Amino acid sequence: MKLKAENLHLHYGGHVALDDVNFELNGNNIIGLLGKNGAGKTSLLSLIASYREPTSGLITVDGEEPFENAKVMQQIAFLYDKDYSDESDKIGEMLEGIARYRPNFDKEYAESLINLFKLDREKQIKKFSKGMKSALNVVIGLASRAPITLLDEVYLGMDAHLREAFYKELLEEQQRFPRMFILSTHLVSEMDYLFDEVIIIDKGTVLLHEEIDTFLAKGVTITGESELVDQFVGSKQQLNVQKLGNTKSVMVYGGLTEDEYENARRLRLEISHASLHELFVHLTKEDM
């Protein structure tokens, strides 16, 4: 499926939550949607899911706008930290209801996920713990097999074991039934291996959208004797600098050429790649 945002704006009264957002997503990839608190991730996902209408600009799914468009809405599953405090149904009853409007919903798969996450079939959903409610969202999100699945911080409250089970299941499911997943997260270092692409949103605009390998290749840390590091770094964009005695470590953005790698070896400088977490933190810090 093709998901396209063109000059997208969303205002809440006088507050600008999304400011000229543009991107195009094609194909069956897992996309990490990263941004600091309040950057606009949930706002963007709610436009894609047609929970809201853009103030201006366009969001399209295979050329069609999702807002109040039943055909497109069926193609998109949006799972978020929903308030289940009035939900007196048990899990079986709830999934029966969902299966009625989700054409690809796989009940057998849902049952296996309920077992995997050890969700209590006899308990009312409103009595689930926070982690269980999140696991329920994962069950709905995966078993719906919607062509576009949006998971907004869906791990909230899940303990480390549950999260690991979710990540493993997501990757296996993506092998079985490839589709587009967009995952918003603050657990960048824990989830980086899941992503094929990354979108970083900052203050309501898209700071970057890249394939993960291309992006990661751009973040390089050079460590060595201070003067040599300074000489090597020259006018490159510096994301972070650390000094210890006469040793300096500089994280640069933009990647290195083969000649530069060779030069670094000659100067006995140590080169390492920055992690997604490091790149994200330094690209979005306030004084950038």
Ligand X SMILES: Nc1ncnc2c1ncn2[C@@H]1O[C@H](COP(=O)(O)OP(=O)(O)OP(=O)(O)O)[C@@H](O)[C@H]1O
Residues that bind ligand X (CB under 6 A): 12, 15, 17, 35, 37-43
What does the alpha-carbon distance between residue 265 and residue 68 come to, in Å, rounded to a whole number? 59
State in angstroms the smallest separation of the CB of 219 from ligand X.
22
What does the alpha-carbon distance between residue 177 and residue 219 come to, in Å, rounded to a whole number? 32
State in angstroms the smallest separation of the CB of 172 from ligand X.
27
Distances (CA, A) of 135 to 74, 140, 165, 191, 272: 22, 9, 10, 16, 37
State in angstroms the smallest separation of the CB of 273 from ligand X.
26
Show the DSSP H helices in the chain as ranges: 41-48, 70-74, 91-101, 107-116, 130-143, 160-176, 188-191, 212-218, 226-233, 258-266, 276-283
State in angstroms the smallest separation of the CB of 1 from ligand X.
23
State in angstroms the smallest separation of the CB of 187 from ligand X.
12
Longest Cα pair distance anywhere in the chain, in angstroms?
68
Computed on alpha carbons and rounded to an integer, the radius of gyration of the chain in Å comes to: 22
* Identity of the residue, 169 or 192, whose beta carbon is nearer to ligand X in the bound complex: 192
Beta bridge partners of 60: 4
Residue with token string 């989830």:
191
* Identity of the residue, 40 or 54, whose beta carbon is nearer to ligand X in the bound complex: 40
* Identity of the residue, 51 or 261, whose beta carbon is nearer to ligand X in the bound complex: 51
State in angstroms the smallest separation of the CB of 207 from ligand X.
12
Residue with token string 């939550």:
17
* Identity of the residue, 15 or 100, whose beta carbon is nearer to ligand X in the bound complex: 15
Residue 202: how many other CB atoms lie within 10 Å: 17
* Identity of the residue, 47 or 73, whose beta carbon is nearer to ligand X in the bound complex: 47
* Identity of the residue, 39 or 222, whose beta carbon is nearer to ligand X in the bound complex: 39
